[in-house]
C-alpha cells in the first residue's frame, strides 16, 4: 500500500495535530477534524488535497457518522482511525458540577464510542484497519483533583480493551495510546476547571508543589512512536508515551496485588459453599 488514509479527531492542536502532520509529511492522507475548521487551515495550505478538513464535535453522534461517511466517500478507504479529541475537567469529585461531568463524559467517552461505532462497518467491510484511542496514564492510575477526567479514561480503557477482543477476527487492530504529561495546552485553553471549595485548597497546594519540578515530554517526539505503531504487523493493545507511565503502573499494580492478596481469604469466603 503506497500510503495510508487516516481519520483523526482533535487535530486543532496538541498530540492530534502532531500525528496529523507526521502522517502527511510522509505522504499519507489525513481526514483532520476539529470543532473549528479554521484551525486546520495551515495543514491545508501546506499539504493541499492530501488533507480533508472537517468540522466536528465528537459529542454529536450524527455528526460523527456523517464525518466518517464523508471521509469514506472522499478517499475510498480508512486505514487508521484515531479517536483523540478530548479535554480535562479539573476539580475534586465534590467540586465537579453535573453539567461539567456530563460534558466530560460526552466528549471523552461517548465521543470515542461514536467514532468507533461509525468506523467499524467500513473497517469490517474492508477486512482491515487500525483503531487508535487516546487514553492517558490517568486511565491506569488516578490523580486527585481530576476525578471525573480519570473516570472517563478508565471507561475508555474498558471500552477499547473490549473492542479489541471483539474485532480482531475481522482483521481490525486496536491500540490504546496512554500519554504521560506533555507540553501541550492540556492544562491551558483546552481544560475546564470546577468552582473550587476552600476545603480542598491545602490539597491543591500540595499537588502544585509536587508538580513544580515535573518534566513534561515534547509532543513532537511522539510522532515516530505513533508511526511505528500503525506500521507494525502486530501492534500493542496498550502503549505508554513518555517515561512516566511504566514506573507508575508498576507501582500501582504492586499495591493492588498486595491489597487483593491480603484480603484473599475474605474474598474466597464470599464465594459461598459449593
Active site amino acids = 135, 149, 153
* DSSP label at residue 107: I
Q: Distances in Å between the alpha carbon of 140 and those of 2, 161, 176?
A: 36, 13, 11
User: Residue 172 pairs with which residues in a beta bridge?
Assistant: 129
96 with 194: CB under 8 angstroms? Answer: yes
Compute the distance between CA of residue 274 and CA of residue 272 in angstroms, rounded to an integer. 7
3-state helix, strand, coil in the chain (%, to 5): 55, 15, 30
3-state secondary structure labels for all residues of 161-215:
HHHHHHHHHHCEEEEEEEECCECCCCCCCCCEECCCCHHHHHHHHHHHHHCCCCC
Amino acid at each position: 500500500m503506497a500510503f495510508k488514509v487516516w481519520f483523526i479527531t482533535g487535530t486543532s492542536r496538541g498530540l492530534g495535530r502532531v500525528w496529523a502532520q507526521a502522517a502527511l509529511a510522509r505522504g499519507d492522507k489525513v481526514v483532520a477534524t476539529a470543532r473549528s475548521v479554521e484551525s486546520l487551515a495551515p495543514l491545508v495550505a501546506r499539504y493541499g488535497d492530501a488533507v480533508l478538513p472537517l468540522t466536528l464535535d465528537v459529542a454529536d453522534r450524527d455528526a460523527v457518522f456523517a464525518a466518517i461517511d464523508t471521509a469514506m466517500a472522499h478517499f475510498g478507504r480508512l486505514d487508521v482511525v484515531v479517536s483523540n479529541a478530548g479535554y480535562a475537567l479539573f476539580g475534586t469529585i465534590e467540586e465537579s458540577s453535573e453539567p461539567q461531568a456530563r460534558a466530560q463524559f460526552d466528549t471523552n467517552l461517548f465521543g470515542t464510542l461514536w467514532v468507533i461505532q461509525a468506523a467499524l462497518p467500513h473497517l469490517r467491510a474492508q477486512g482491515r484497519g487500525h483503531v487508535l484511542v487516546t487514553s492517558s496514564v490517568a486511565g491506569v492510575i488516578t490523580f486527585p483533583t481530576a476525578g471525573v477526567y480519570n473516570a472517563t479514561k478508565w471507561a475508555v480503557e474498558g471500552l477499547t480493551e473490549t473492542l479489541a477482543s471483539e474485532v480482531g477476527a475481522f482483521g481490525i487492530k486496536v491500540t490504546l495510546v496512554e500519554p504521560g504529561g506533555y507540553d501541550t495546552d492540556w492544562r491551558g485553553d483546552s481544560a475546564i476547571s470546577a468552582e473550587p471549595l476552600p476545603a480542598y485548597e491545602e490539597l491543591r497546594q500540595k499537588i502544585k508543589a509536587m508538580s513544580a519540578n515535573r518534566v513534561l515530554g515534547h509532543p513532537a517526539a511522539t510522532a515516530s512512536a505513533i508511526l511505528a505503531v500503525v506500521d507494525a504487523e502486530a501492534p500493542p493493545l496498550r502503549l505508554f508515551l513518555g517515561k512516566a507511565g511504566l514506573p507508575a503502573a508498576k507501582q500501582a499494580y504492586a499495591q493492588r496485588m498486595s491489597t487483593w492478596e491480603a484480603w484473599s481469604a475474605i474474598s474466597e469466603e464470599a464465594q459461598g459453599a459449593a
